[in-house]
Amino acid sequence: MKKALVFLMMMGLLTGCGAEETFETVADEQAEQVIAQQRQIYVELPGEAASPAVESDSGRLYLCGDYEICIQTLEGGDRNATVRTLSGYEEAEVTVMELEREDARCWSFVWTSAGETGDMVGRAMVLDDGSYHYCLSVLADAETSRQNQAVWDRMFETFRLA
């Protein structure tokens, strides 16, 4: 009798374990991804940055005496990855200031790091159009960065999407 009762209880517990079938539908047409067109960057560079020292598909590096200017376009969406690419720091480790512009969302930040000749100061601005991150960054020795501040301010003021 006990065995029959245990058997009936086991049968009752197992009756609720039915698997539901799931179906996946497949379309005959392949949907093409819409890739946003990259926009052009406009920025007024200082006179000593007439031609890029290094150029690639995604960016240009200008050497200007005692500082470097880097202009590049990165994939949008991951803000932390962009901050890490530009500065070497995670987004939580720097203070990011956000601004609204007429052509795109804008955020900027500064950082310091150790270089071969001493401390370095970096400053970056990123324009985000929803698809790409358009980046302008400057890196200089901490001792000489103050004398270039007016040139940098003008450059960052003119940084926009065309």
Rounded to an integer, the average pLDDT of 71-93 is: 93
Q: 20 to each of 16, 17, 23, how far by Cα in Å?
A: 11, 10, 10
CB count, 10 Å around CB of 12?
9
What is this structure's pTM? 0.75
Over the stretch 29-79, which tens digit does the pLDDT of each residue have?
766 666 778 889 999 988 876 667 888 888 899 988 888 999 999 998 899
SS3 of residue 73 by DSSP: strand
E strand or H helix that includes residue 5: helix 2-14
Q: What percent of the chain stands above pLDDT 70?
A: 88
Higher pLDDT, 71 or 146: 71
Dihedral angle over CA of 94, 100, 105, 108, nearest 10: -20
SS3 of residue 153 by DSSP: helix
Q: Which residues pair with 98 in a beta bridge?
A: 107
* Residue indicated by tokens 């819409």: 34
